[in-house]
């Protein structure tokens, strides 16, 4: 489908049907994979992505993963977790003992869950959300992805400024 604003002008923007709204309840349920695979995806993130983008404190992340949190902070953490897994599954060629054929479906599930959570949380800045949005910028930069990287980076910047992260303390 073409953008209604730019369809007949100098610029033509094609909108993917993949970016249409999804079922909001999908983001709030259990992860789209078993706990063992989720743990493996987290390990892949810290082994292969974190060394290039060291913005997540692993001990703090692992503690949050184990502890019970308030519903709002849990949603922010869930956004971060889904963003991490979306990025890992976008680039993974194999899952070492897990079904490799499930990689594209897992990627779509984690990415959709993250998108739904962004819609629910964009008014409440949180460090987990800023980190998640920066990771989603990388997901959006991948092949066959929508043009949402600009949106994610702008939202990450706005939330970072609102949290005061732009100040040299």
Q: Where are the domains of the chain?
A: 31-162
The predicted-structure confidence for 42-53, as pLDDT tens digits, reads as follows 999 999 999 999
Per the prediction, the chain carries an average pLDDT of: 80
- The residues near 98 (Cβ < 8 Å, ≥ 6 apart) are 37, 40
Q: In this structure, what DSSP letter does residue 25 have? A: G
Indicate the pLDDT class of residue 107, thresholds 50, 70 and 90.
Answer: very high
Is pLDDT of 124 > 70? yes
Can you tell me the distance from the alpha carbon of 65 to that of 79, in angstroms, rounded to the nearest whole number?
A: 12
The predicted-structure confidence for 60-86, as pLDDT tens digits, reads as follows 999 988 886 556 568 899 999 999 999
Beta-bridge partners for 131: none
> Tokens 């079922």 belong to which residue?
23
Is pLDDT of 19 > 50? no
Q: Do 114 and 138 contact (CB within 8 A), yes or no? A: no
Q: In this structure, what DSSP letter does residue 14 have? A: B
- Which of 138, 113, 109 minimizes the C-alpha distance to 49? 138
User: Does the predicted TM-score (pTM) go above 0.75?
Assistant: yes
Indicate the pLDDT class of residue 2, thresholds 50, 70 and 90.
Answer: very low
Indicate the pLDDT class of residue 10, thresholds 50, 70 and 90.
Answer: very low
């Amino acid at each position: 489908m073409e953008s209604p604003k730019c369809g007949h002008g100098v610029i033509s923007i094609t909108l993917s049907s993949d970016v249409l709204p999804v079922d909001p309840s999908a983001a709030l349920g259990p992860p789209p994979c078993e706990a063992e695979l989720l743990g493996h995806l987290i390990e892949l993130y810290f082994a292969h992505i974190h060394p290039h983008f060291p913005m997540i404190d692993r001990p703090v992340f692992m503690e949050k993963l184990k502890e019970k949190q308030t519903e709002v902070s849990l949603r922010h953490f869930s956004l971060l977790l889904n963003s991490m897994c979306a990025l890992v599954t976008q680039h993974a060629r194999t899952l070492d003992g897990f079904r490799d054929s499930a990689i594209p479906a897992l990627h779509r599930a984690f990415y959709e869950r993250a998108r739904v959570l962004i819609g629910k949380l964009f008014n409440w800045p949180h460090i987990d959300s800023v980190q998640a949005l920066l990771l989603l910028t990388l997901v959006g930069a991948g092949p066959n992805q929508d043009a949402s990287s600009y949106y994610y980076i702008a939202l990450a910047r706005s939330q970072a400024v609102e949290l005061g992260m732009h100040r040299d303390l």
